[in-house]
């Protein structure tokens, strides 16, 4: 049986991921790396509280089989540019390097549609740069997921995002061909695909939003 490591368990994708990992008999332990102790009780769960400001001291805790990374922030929550860069770029790269050093076999990362290291916008550029770092580390099993608009029960209500999702849901029937990757996708689908990628030997490393949906149907 396997040990899962989860970074970002309090987020929209992370919460659903943990629920599915608990139900998955392949995992005997689920290690949650969190800033604040969550209100979750299950014999599989192990809580590691950290402020993520000195990751070297976490090195001995980053051991197991599959590492799932779904930490993310927004400009609203991290208005300072350096803090935003630390969360979106430096943190995932550092965790990935520590995971590689500790022989973690699978690294599964929630990126974004249209991630590109050459993008003019920080968000897509940082995601693209993290993707490049992950590929260079040559994990035995790497999954980079690029979901479109995420559907699910959010704690934080983002008006602009909510409007965008409504519009894209209305346009979904007309999204064919290359536009399929823009269709809204439910967090349950993303979480399920993350686990499937970790458990299966799939040569593919990058999964666009429509490919995430297709993977769950196979």
pLDDT means per 10 residues in the chain (218 residues)?
96 96 97 92 94 87 96 83 93 97 97 95 96 97 94 66 60 58 87 95 90 87
Q: What is the model's pLDDT at position 47? A: 96
pLDDT of residue 156: 59
Q: What is the pLDDT of residue 154?
A: 64
Distances (CA, A) of 181 to 14, 185, 211, 214, 216: 21, 9, 8, 11, 15
d(C-alpha 206, C-alpha 111), whole Å: 9
pTM as predicted: 0.89
* pLDDT number for residue 86: 94
Segments forming the whole domain that contains residue 144: 2-217
d(CA 160, CA 191): 24
What is the spatial distance between Cα 71 and Cα 68, in angstroms, rounded to a whole number? 9
Task: Name the burial class of residue 30, with classes exposed (0-12), middle (13-18) and buried (19+) by CB atoms within 10 angstroms of its CB.
Answer: buried
Give me the pLDDT at residue 152, please: 82
The CATH number assigned to the domain holding 118 equals 3.40.50.720
**What pLDDT sits at residue 55?**
86
Structural domain count of the chain: 1
């Amino acid at each position: 049986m396997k040990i899962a490591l989860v970074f970002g368990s309090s987020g929209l994708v992370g919460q659903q991921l943990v629920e599915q990992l608990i139900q998955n008999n392949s995992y005997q332990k689920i290690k949650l790396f969190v800033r604040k102790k969550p209100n979750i009780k299950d014999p599989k769960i192990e809580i590691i509280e950290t402020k993520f400001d000195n990751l070297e001291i976490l090195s001995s805790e980053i051991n197991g089989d599959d590492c799932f990374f779904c930490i993310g922030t927004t400009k609203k929550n991290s208005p300072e540019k350096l803090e935003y860069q630390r969360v979106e770029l430096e943190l995932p790269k550092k965790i990935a390097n520590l995971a590689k050093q500790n022989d973690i076999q699978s690294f599964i990362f929630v990126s974004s549609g249209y991630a590109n290291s050459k993008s003019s916008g920080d968000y897509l550029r940082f995601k693209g740069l993290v993707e490049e770092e992950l590929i260079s580390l040559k994990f035995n099993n790497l999954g980079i997921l690029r979901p479109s608009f995420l559907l699910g029960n959010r704690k934080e209500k983002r008006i602009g995002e909510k409007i965008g999702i409504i519009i894209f849901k209305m346009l979904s029937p007309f999204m064919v061909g290359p536009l399929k990757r823009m269709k809204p996708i439910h967090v349950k689908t993303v979480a399920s695909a993350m686990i499937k990628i970790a458990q299966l030997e799939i040569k593919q490393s990058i999964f666009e939003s429509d490919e995430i949906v297709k993977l769950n149907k196979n």
